[in-house]
Chains A and B, each alone.
Chain A
Amino acid sequence: MVQADILSQIILYGVLTGGVYALVAMGLSLIFGVMDVVNFAHGAYLMLAMYSSYFAWQILGLDPFLSILLVAPAFFVFGVISERLIIHPIIDEPDFAQIFATVGLIWVFENFAHYFIGTDPKGIEAGYGGMSLLGVPVQEVRVYGFVIALLTALGMYLLLEKTKIGLAIRATAQDKEAAELMGMSSEVVYMVTFGLGIALVGVAGPVMASIYSTTPTVGANYVLIAFVVVVLGGLGDVFGVLWAGMLIGIVDAAVAFFYEPTLSAPVYYTIFIAVLVLRATGHLGGSDEGLLSRIANIASSNESS
């Protein structure tokens, strides 16, 4: 059966790519969900993380996956500093202030890379080859990237659910004032949240850099996909983001295979707007819940009735 072969290939390829999309989206989801800040510069941070990993490989000879251990902590600090300097002063300002401040950051980061590194695409050749997974030939880096995405999701879940700081983050996300009354400083929580969100970019960057080549504007290609994934998956919902990433990855791969790669963006943007609108009009529930958990809720409520 050739058809089944192709189908399994598309799904496998989509799931692997989607896992990486989810990895990119996790930090965005965390920051958006907890702080209600739309970080348009997410892609620009990603670009810097990709370059960091590239230079770690080129100068130190570090394997891109190992460089995560270096890049992620560095980006945590970077995130905390960014929060103090740029996000904190405008946290209570209207939406447009956050949008423009982060657009300003994009300009600074992208042109910084343009000026100091140049526009030639930089690719890492760390000696990874191809492998066969379930009888389908795939690149090794994609498989490892997917595994890292799963581990990161698990780690984030444990951090948010099982630790004190995770509890503080969730409490602040739910009700900032109440959390403050309980003695949690929202300033500290926001600092840590933004730091964690950017640290997640620091995990995603090396993975992305091992798969794709890096240019100053590479982030713009992925930030909108990340937004789609976040909205589908639910704000701050780690596993929701993972599922949504895979869903988008499969849509991406299927459209690219059956029609043309250029058409996959319009397709998932349409899904994106449809989900936003259905949610706003109350057809999918009104909260910031993810799509899949909501469908599960609807299904279980149908069963019980």
Chain B
Amino acid sequence: MSQKQQTSTDSIAGKITKAVGKPSGYLSLLVFLVALALPLFATNYILHILILVFITGIGAIAWNIIGGYGGQFALGNAVFYGFGAYSVALLVNNYGQSFFVALAVGIILSVLLAVLVGYPTFTLSGHYFALATIAVVEGMLYLVLFFGDFTGGAIGQSVTPASWLADLVGNRVIAFYIFFAIFGLCILISTWVRYSKLGYYLLAIREDQDAAAALGVNTTRYKIYGFALSAAMTALAGGMYAVYGTYVSPSGAFSLDLSIQYALITLIGGMGTIIGPIVGTLFMVPIQQYVTTVLGGNLGSLAYIGYGVILIVVIIYAPEGLVTRLSFVREWIDNTLPEVK
């Protein structure tokens, strides 16, 4: 985390030492180090769950940029995930391209689609924007099914990456570090965006679009920038999942449920905060995995009833998310633990 920034000026290095000296700073560092050491004692199954946490987390972080910072309630982000996943699957399998070329194509296509969809639909407000993005992901799902000869249709297709890559992601420990690194990179990007011009403009648009426009912010343009970045990161998650899961299917990739999940995770964690989607993913993905794979079947559906009830109760009584709800923990830590200088 810090190597990257030490190459820049001394004042930044000074800021970092100061930030690390604070309890929240060195505790984060501790969590980071524990996470790095996890493969030493965690089982393969736990590593697998954590890799899923990272993949879903990237999507949630990406959603938070447009949905949380920008306040644009996109419910079609899975379409970018699908573009990433299918680009990798099709280009690697059918056209013999290397993984990186395929991934790059997926990301570029997603950015193009984000601009293409965003340009007209960002004139819509509230409900209508959400509905239009749903129509995009659902329409794309049917297109994938329609062009079944090319895409593999409803069954989907398996992905056979080059043997070196298959070996890398086949080893759970190495895969863990790869996905952890990408996850960390996405957190850095999200943090950078939050404190960049783009981030401040997005926040301004979320708070009051008309006021932002009156102050000279080109609102449509910055929303499209945010959406394109969000799309690129989600496509990255999709492409990475394609090689890790070695299988893509239309119902898994172009799924409204996944789109909703990104938004939901961010909501549970705390919308518009940097750490919200991270906390949300760490909380939600393991629970979902437990409910669907361990409980499964009928017990799983019973658990989902409870899940739905909890969601409704959370919306009614605690819509600000876990991070804000649990801010007293942070205050307590800041107040009780000593500052290191």
- A interface residues with partner B (beta carbon < 8 Å): 32, 36, 38, 86, 89-90, 93, 95-97, 99-101, 103-108, 110-112, 114-115, 224, 227-228, 231, 260, 262-263, 265-266, 269-270, 272-273, 276-277, 280-281
Q: What's the nearest-Cβ distance from chain A to residue B28, in Å?
A: 28
Does B307 have its Cβ within 8 Å of any Cβ on chain A? Answer: yes
B312 near A86: Cβ-Cβ < 8 Å: yes
A111 x B301 contact (CB < 8 A): yes
Q: Is B121 an interface residue (CB 8 A)?
A: yes
Establish whether residues A266 and B146, one from each chain, have CB atoms under 8 Å apart when the complex forms.
Answer: yes
Per the CB 8 Å criterion, the residue count for chain B at the interface is: 43
Docked-complex contact A111 and B304, CB < 8 angstroms:
yes
Q: Is B130 an interface residue (CB 8 A)?
A: yes
A-B contact pairs, 19 of them (CB 8 A): A38-B127, A38-B130, A93-B319, A95-B130, A96-B73, A96-B267, A108-B309, A262-B145, A263-B143, A269-B135, A269-B136, A269-B139, A270-B139, A273-B136, A276-B124, A277-B120, A277-B124, A281-B120, A281-B123
Bound CA–CA A260/B120 (angstroms): 28
Question: B-side binding surface: helix, strand, loop or mixed?
Answer: helix
Interface of chain A: mostly helix, strand, loop or mixed: helix
Q: How far is the CB of B93 from chain A (nearest CB, A)?
A: 22
Distance in angstroms between the alpha carbons of A93 and B267 in the assembled complex: 14
Which of these, A95, A110, A270, contacts B126 with CB under 8 Å? Answer: A95
Nearest chain B CB to A259's CB is how many angstroms away? 8
A110 and B302 alpha carbons, distance in the complex (Å): 10
Please tell me if the beta carbons of B131 and A38 are within 8 angstroms of each other in the complex.
yes
Please state if B311 and A276 are interface contacts (CB–CB under 8 Å): no
Q: What 1/0 mask marks residues of chain B from 45 to 85 whose CB sits below 8 Å from any chain A CB?
A: 00000000000000000000000000001010000000000
In the complex, which residues of chain A have a beta carbon less than 8 angstroms from the beta carbon of B311? Answer: 100-101, 103-104, 107
Q: Is the CB of A97 within 8 A of B315?
A: yes
Q: How far is the CA of A146 from the CA of B139 in the complex (A)?
A: 27
CA A36 to CA B54, docked complex, whole Å: 37
**A115 CB contact (under 8 Å) in B73, B271, B298:** B298
Q: Does B103 contact A (CB under 8 A)?
A: no
Residue of A whose beta carbon sits closest to that of B307: A107
Bound Cα distance A273, B136 (Å): 8
Q: Contact: A104 with B312, CB < 8 Å?
A: yes
Cβ distance B307 to chain A, nearest Cβ, rounded Å: 6
Q: How many A-B residue pairs have CB under 8 A?
A: 122
Q: Which of B73, B132, B263 contacts A272 (CB 8 A)?
A: B132
List 19 additional contacts besides A108-B308, A228-B135, A280-B128; criterion CB under 8 Å. A36-B127, A89-B316, A93-B319, A95-B126, A96-B271, A101-B312, A101-B315, A107-B307, A108-B305, A111-B301, A114-B298, A114-B301, A115-B301, A115-B302, A227-B134, A266-B146, A272-B131, A273-B135, A276-B132
Chain B residue numbers with a CB within 8 Å of A273 are: 120-121, 132, 135-136
A93 to B314, CA, bound (A): 13
> Are A111 and B73 interface neighbours, CB within 8 A?
no
- The reply to whether A269 and B138 form a contact with Cβ atoms under 8 Å apart is yes
- CA of A89 to CA of B317 in the docked complex: distance in angstroms? 9
Q: Closest CB-CB distance, B118 to chain A, in whole Å?
A: 11
> In the complex, which residues of chain B have a beta carbon less than 8 angstroms from the beta carbon of A262?
142, 145-146
Interface centre among A227, A231, A266 (most CB of B within 10 A): A266
Partner of B73, one of A89, A99, A269, A281: A99
A111-B123 CB under 8 A given contacts A100-B264, A224-B134: no
Complex CA distance for A36 and B138, rounded to whole angstroms: 23
How far, in whole Å, are A231 and B304 apart by their CA atoms in the complex?
A: 31
Q: Are A280 and B124 in contact (CB under 8 A)?
A: yes
Contact A105 B312 (CB under 8 A): yes
Asked if B91 CB lies within 8 Å of chain A CBs, one says: no
B67 to chain A, nearest CB (A): 8
